[in-house]
Amino acid sequence: MRVIALSLLTTAPAGYRTHDYSVSIAQLPSWVIWLSVVLMVFPALVYLLIYGWDATWGNLSILALLVEFVVLIVAHELVHAIGWKFASGLPWAKFRFGILWQGLAPYCHAIEPMSLQAYRIGAILPLFITGVLPWLVALVVGDTSLAIVGALLISGAVGDIYVIWTLRALPASVLVQDHTSRVGCVVYMPTDESPQGDDLLGG
């Protein structure tokens, strides 16, 4: 979930009009919070059931957990960038990277809009690459710290899942850009089409 402070386009591209598909964190529906809890607890429980209580906590390394968490948090944003770059064709110069120091959170942001399909690809990739994949590796090798971090990263992708869900009924012709300070994005829709489906406050 990315909440950053950079500049959106000041005006919609020619032939498009702007629709705001974003909310503040406080406006997120309660099901998003519950889903984040489920996506964190379920993977952890599966690991615990496979390895048992003693083995699970016996090989836990706090240092490894912290290192893996930092590495995968950074990787999460890099995977966003790679997915968006190659799916959209935007040059690397159109991406911005940084850290929100007040929350110690890295971010990646495209400064130009992209196609809806490209946005979906880049938005969902970290769920699998930095969440599900590390968790599966942890299941195979019995690495408790990696299992915990994988579960956290799966849960942490709930914001991306949520935004993709809210865009599900939009036509392929729209352009999409991450919102700069809220959860969600701005949609640029051709002037001859109308919005469809739920807005970000819908279910």
Provide the terminal-to-terminal Cα distance of the chain, rounded to the nearest Å.
Answer: 18
* pLDDT in the model for residue 7: 47
* pLDDT in the model for residue 161: 95
Which run of H or of E encompasses 37?
Answer: helix 30-58
Query: Whole-angstrom Cα distance, residue 157 to residue 40?
Result: 10
Closest CA to 183 of 26, 30, 2: 2
Query: Whole-angstrom Cα distance, residue 81 to residue 116?
Result: 15
In tens digits, what is the pLDDT along the chain, a chain of 203 residues?
A: 443 334 455 577 888 999 889 888 888 899 999 999 999 999 999 999 999 999 999 999 999 999 999 999 999 999 999 999 999 999 999 998 887 766 667 888 888 999 999 999 999 999 999 999 999 999 999 999 999 999 999 999 998 999 999 999 999 999 999 876 677 899 999 987 666 545 444 44
Query: Whole-angstrom Cα distance, residue 81 to residue 114?
Result: 12
What are the domain boundaries of the chain?
Answer: 28-170
Instruction: For 92-203, list the strands marked E by DSSP.
Output: 95-100, 105-110, 114-115, 175-178, 183-190
Task: Return the SS3 of 21.
Answer: strand
